[in-house]
Structure 1
Amino acid sequence: MPSHETMQFLLSLGYTEAVSSGIINALLQNGIPPSSLFTMVKGLAGRYEVGEDGGLEALAASVKLELEKQEGKATVKIWCLPSTGWSPASDEDAGALPTVHSMERAFAVEALEGVTLTDIVNHGTGENSDVLAEYLECACSGIMACSTCHVVIHPDWYDATQVDGEGVVTTNHSVDPKKIGPPSEAELDMIDLAYEPQLTSRLGCRVQVTKELDGLVVLLPAGSNNLMDFVPFE
Structure 2
Amino acid sequence: MPRVIFIDAQENQFDADIAVGENLMQGAVDNMIDGILGECGGVMSCATCHCYIDPQWQALIPPPSEREEDMLDMAIEPNEHSRLSCQIKITEELDGLVVRLPKSQY
Q: TM-score range by the shorter chain?
A: over 0.9
- Paired with 1:106 and 1:220, the residues of 2 have a C-alpha distance of 10
Q: Deviations over 1:193-219 (max 9, x none)?
A: 101001011101101111011000000
What secondary structure is seen at the aligned counterpart in 2 of 1:83? coil
Unaligned residue ranges in structure 2 (runs of 5+): none
Match of 2:10 in 1: 84
Match of 1:118 in 2: 25
Larger Rg, first or second structure (1 or 2): 1
- Normalising by structure 1, we get a TM-score of 0.43
Looking at secondary structure, tell me which structure has more helix per residue: 1
Match of 1:99 in 2: none
Moved over 2 A (4+): none
Report the residue type matching 2:14 in the other structure.
F
Match of 1:135 in 2: 35
For these two proteins, the number of residue pairs brought into alignment is 106
Match of 2:53 in 1: 153
What is the root-mean-square deviation in Å for CA atoms of aligned residues? Answer: 1.3
Match of 1:197 in 2: 78
What secondary structure is seen at the aligned counterpart in 2 of 1:187? helix
- Paired with 2:28 and 2:98, the residues of 1 have a C-alpha distance of 16
| Pairing 1:107–2:14 present | yes
Query: More relative contact order in 1 or in 2 (CA 8 Å, sep 6+)?
Result: 2
For the 8 Å contact 1:145–1:190, the answer to whether it is kept is: yes
Report the residue type matching 2:56 in the other structure.
D
